[in-house]
Amino acid sequence: VIETVYGRRFSSGGPMFALLLWWPMVVLAVFTYTRILISYDRQGYIGRVSALTAVFNIGFNLALIPFWGGVGASIAKILADLITLIIYQRLVNKVLRVPLGSLALCPIIAIGVTLAFLIVVSASFNIWLIAAYAAFVYLAALFISSRFVPGWRSLVTGGYLT
């Protein structure tokens, strides 16, 4: 993708791009957790967690960049944000008393199955057909995985909210 969009001069950025493709999912979850904390008037946690994230990010960068360069920086960013996600998940669990970590397991499994499907499917197919199949695979994986994670359907149907 990098070579197609930016040309051969930037093809060395491909491995970093491949790693950072996962980063938006982590950031979206972090964003959701911060909004939950704000809505429960716990925004004081956000500044402290952000400072801790910066410390982890700097530490990981110092450890990984000398060995792996830009790829190390990409790994450092993802690791720091994964730690942030875990911290926020625990804070939100304290506030809501809902096991969001285990409840997030179903969508995570469904995303993984869908990504595996997309990797296996040939790019020569029609993009709209692939998108339709991917949506079906996601929903099927979500439905099947929800059978094995207790409480997930209760959250979706409002059982935790009543």
Put residue 7 in one of left, alpha, beta given phi > 0 → left and psi -120 to 50 → alpha: left
Q: Which residues of 86-113 are buried (b: 16+ CB within 10 A; e: fewer)?
A: ebbbebbeeeeebbbeebbbbbebbeeb
Radius of gyration of the chain (CA): 19
pTM (predicted TM-score): 0.65
DSSP state of 121: S
Query: Distance between CA 89 and CA 32 in Å, rounded?
Result: 10
Per the CB < 8 A criterion, the answer to whether 33 and 90 are in contact is no
How confident is the model at residue 47, as a pLDDT? Answer: 94
pLDDT per residue of the chain (162 residues) written in tens, 0 to 9: 677 777 788 878 878 888 888 788 888 889 888 998 998 899 999 999 999 999 999 999 999 999 999 999 999 999 999 999 999 988 988 887 766 666 677 777 888 888 888 777 766 677 788 888 888 998 898 888 877 776 666 655 555 544
Q: Which residues of 50-67 are buried (b: 16+ CB within 10 A; e: fewer)?
A: eeebeebbeebbeebbee
